[in-house]
Amino acid sequence: MADIISIATAVPGHCHKQSDILSFMQDIYGLNDYERRKLKFLYEHSGIDTRYSVIGDFSKPEEEWDFIPADPQEQFPSLEKRMSVYENAALDISKQATKKCLNGHLQSSDVTHLITVSCTGMSAPGLDLQLVKALQFPTTIFRSSVNFMGCYAAVHALKLAKMICDSTPNSNVVIVAAELCTLHFQQDYTEDNAASSLLFSDGAAAVLMSNTLRSPNAFSLQGFYSQVAFKGEADMAWQLGSQGFLMTLSGYIPQLISEDINQLVEDALSHHGLEQEDIAYWCIHPGGKRILDLIQKQLQLSPDDLCYSREILRRYGNMSSPTVLFVLKYIMEHDIPSGSKLMGMAFGPGLTMETFIAERK
């Protein structure tokens, strides 16, 4: 038995309207009238209203910027400076999410396993040890980290947590996914950088999984299925640069996903002995509005089927790995009939497509 008992989320203090971020981008990139109109169209059709960031500059007047230089001749922050911000800010939102996740369910001293997830910052000692110290987890705790897998990494962490719960008695596993995507804003106006600045944001989610605890809102994880489509390996990628992590995000990603989604879902459901009609709820990582639109069309889903994913995209943007957990939390907060089956999906570098099946207890 591997049950999701609780999910909690946290975001940084700076909430930016998408319209304010657009104005910032138009100015910082020094766009001409044609490019400004083009970017405005993309922002207005992004399905995003607000995004959160550890950086306040995106909706402040230029004279109040304190992270991004206003002078176009000045060099953008180094990787070292970005990682310094990450080390403090990622811990802060991770602590917030984890405390809320455990509240009313479990004492810190009873956590047996900790899995941390991130692709936007790394250090050693890392986020896992920072959390052990800050939240007074047992120093004997089993720790593991899922790094640099991108938007699907939280599903991989759920998979590891289920393996632990299925094989180890009396397991209480905490997963913490924390991403500060906006730290890696880049100075050059390229297609990849424009796409990243349009979609990505910051946030953290914590999950409590257990084979001992009970909760009226719990979902039982039934299993997982994944596929890799190597034809998209060059279209979504992260690389380390001297001035932050460099994102490759091709405009072909939505089309690539839509080409493979029917077969992926058919194979995943067959793997679990299910039909699409057996799925009552869809927990889809909102990688972008176009991705959700194409998935809805290809799978012949109703607008209501993707309402949870669209609402998270609207309120938060794409936070990479925590985002699918934000969607799952939102679904869990609703009155879901016992026995209802849910299918989750997330996509990332590879092109990797991860799925999971869960059932309301």
Other CB atoms within 10 Å distance of the CB of residue 80: 9
In percent, how much of the chain has pLDDT > 90?
Answer: 75
SS3 call for 151: helix
Q: What is the mean pLDDT of residues 224-236?
A: 75
CA dihedral angle for residue 241, residue 245, residue 251, residue 254, rounded to 10 degrees: 140
Amino acid 247: pLDDT? 61
pTM for this structure?
0.94
SS3 call for 48: coil
Tell me which of 361 and 221 has the higher pLDDT.
221
Amino acid 113: pLDDT? 98
Query: Rounded to whole angstroms, how far apart are CA atoms 44 and 144?
Result: 40
Task: Point out the least confidently predicted range of 123-127, 154-158, 234-238.
Answer: 234-238
Task: Point out the least confidently predicted range of 5-19, 173-187, 239-253.
Answer: 239-253
pLDDT of residue 59 exceeding 90: yes
Angle between helices 323-332 and 153-167 (to 10 degrees): 60
**273 Rama sector, left if φ>0, alpha if ψ -120 to 50, beta otherwise:** left
SS3 call for 227: strand
SS3 call for 8: strand
For the chain, which domains are there? 219-360 (3.40.47.10)
**What single DSSP character describes residue 200?**
B
Contact 105, 6 (CB under 8 A): yes
From the list 167, 155, 83, the residue with the least C-alpha distance to 122 is: 83
Q: Each residue of 253-271: pLDDT tens digit?
A: 677 777 778 888 999 999 9
Residue with tokens 């209203």: 49
Amino acid 144: pLDDT? 97
Which phi and psi angles does 37 have, rounded to 5°? -65, -40
Task: Write out 259-322 in H/E/C secondary structure.
Answer: HHHHHHHHHHHHHCCCCHHHEEEEEECCCCHHHHHHHHHHHCCCHHHHHHHHHHHHHHCECCCC
SS3 call for 202: strand
